[in-house]
Structure formats: C-alpha cells, structure tokens
Amino acid sequence: MQRTSKPSPAASPAQSSLAQSIPALKSRTFQCMGTVISLALPAGAALDGEGVLEGATAAIERVFAGLDATFSLYRPDSEASRLARGEVTLRDASAAFRARFADATGWRLLTDGFFTPERPDGVLDLSGIIKGYAIDQAAVALESSSIEDWCLNAGGDVLVSGSPAPGTGSPWLAGIVDPQDRRSLLSGFSLGGTGRFTALATSGTAERGNHIWRAGADRARGGRAGLGPLDFRQVSVAAADILTADVLATAVVAGGRRMLDWATDSWDVEVLAVLGSGELLATPGFRA
C-alpha cells in the first residue's frame, strides 16, 4: 500500500521544481444529480490538446444527464416523478426504469433490506443506485473512446482505470475525508494500477442523501433519532465495481455492525467505517 506519491503541482506551488517528475493531471467538472462530477486524465501526449478531455467530459455528461432526466425525483417531468404521483404504474414504466428497479430490488435482497429503493413514505426512489449506475455507464463511454487512464469522481464516489502515470502501473491514490474535519483526510486508498480494486464509495450522515438509508437506520436503532456512539457516521467501501461499493457503503451505514460483517464476509471488499464515537473499524486493507 505504500507508495511514493507526488504532490499535485498547483496544490503545493513551493515544490513546483518537482513538477517534472509528477504525473500531472487535467480535469473537467460538470454539475448533475445535485452534485459535481469530475473527470481527470493524465496530462501529456495522450491528451493531444484539449479535445480528448473535453470530448470525454461531454460524453460522460450525456450519460449522467440522460439518467437524471429519467430518475430524478427533483424533476417534476421525470419518469420517477410521474410514478411517485401515481400517474403511471411500474408495469407501464420504461424498460430502463424497470431494469434499474430490478437491480435495486436485487440489492435489497442481498443486503437483507438495509439497502432499499423505497423511501419511508413508500415512494420509489432509485437515486441510491442511479449515481453508481451512471458512473458505471460513464466508464463504458470512456472505454469505447479508447481512453485507458482516467479517474471519475461523482460527488465523492470514485471509479478509476489504469494509472495517473500511464504505462507505469502505479495506482491512483484516493483520499478519504475525515467526517469530523472535512478539510482533512482520514485515510487513503490505492485504486487501479495493478490492484484489484478500482472503485471507492463513501456514505455518511454528514451530507446529502440521508433519506436513502434513514428508514433502515431508524429500523436498526429501534426508531431512535440521532447518531449513537455505535452508529456509523461514515462508511467507505472499496470494491472491484462502483455499484457494489456504493450500495454496500449505503447499506452498512443503514445496517450497522451486522451489515458490516455481512458485507465483508460476502463480498470481496475493503471497508473503513467511522463510528459516531469517532472510533474506526477497518478491514486489513486499510491498515498502514
């Protein structure tokens, strides 16, 4: 896990003399699904001017925007909103909608209900898997563009391919936010390169998306409100694919220790969990 990593040139201008040996990145961002999506590619010959990065970003943005138009409950005209209002039934829903519903239902079974596609009020809410699915489909778009080395970050969920220094096999290094001080990093994890994990997702109580798991968490705590010392404040899951990482991170926040053990027993994942007390639970892959 140890690697000699390089300071980002702009983040530490004092060390700009080191920049020659640093695999510099170029990144672009756009807003969708209520958050910001960042695509980073290694700078250099492969980028061949700005066209590659701009084109790849546009392709990804189309993927995200297309899914958001169908699945967002924040858009009154989306298929999800029409279903929520009862204007159409699931039987009349599009094949794409039913496919994602089937995915979510499968995950609910696999996680003993701790991941659920239903809000407490009974409204079908697939947002818990749509962002992960969008990242997954964006990866398909990048691969079809023959881009091999990239890092995609959608609001804190990360999927990578290849290396930040093409041809070296060195991994991407992802930092994990400290939920007690979001300006600092709690830990880091290597993704891609020659390793088997390419995805890292983090769920927590500190930010948006609480409604996805709140029902499960309340059930797990017997309906008590607030964050107890044994509840999970933040859970990061590394996996070989982003949907598994994203769904399991959400499920463990909802299901607590029981779901955590079930996740590590049943899937090939590494997990770093922060308890309400601030203590950490970690699988061996997170040990320094």
| HSE, side-chain direction, 13 A CA sphere, residue 127 | 22
Cα–Cα distance, 172 to 1 (Å, whole number)? 11
Q: CB of residue 3 vs another protein: minimum separation in angstroms? A: 9
CB 95 to another protein: min, Å: 28
Cβ proximity to another protein: between 38 and 168 the closer is 38
CA atoms lying within 13 Å on the CB side of residue 7: 11
User: Which amino acid appears at position 2 of this protein?
Assistant: Q
DSSP state, residue 34: T
136 in Cβ contact with 95 (< 8 Å): no
Cα(42)–Cα(281) distance, integer angstroms:
33
Which two three-digit tokens encode residue 85?
């209002």
Q: How far is the CB of 63 from another protein (least distance, A)?
A: 18
**Shortest Å, Cβ 268 to another protein:** 7
Q: How far is the CB of 224 from another protein (least distance, A)?
A: 21
In angstroms, give the least distance from the CB of 205 to another protein.
7
Pick from 207, 223, 263: nearest CA to 239: 263
What is the b/e burial string over 67-80, where b = at least 16 CB atoms within 10 angstroms of the residue's CB?
A: bbebbbbeeeebbb
Compute CA distances 190 → 30, 113, 201, 242, whole Å.
25, 30, 13, 15
| 128 contact partners, CB below 8 Å, separation of at least 6 | 104, 115, 116, 117, 209, 212, 213, 246, 247, 250
Nearer to another protein, 26 or 214 (CB): 26
**Residue 156 CB, nearest approach to another protein (Å):** 4
Name the nearest CA neighbour of 247 among 225, 228, 271.
271
Distance CA 93, CA 74 (A): 18
Q: How far is the CB of 62 from another protein (least distance, A)?
A: 19
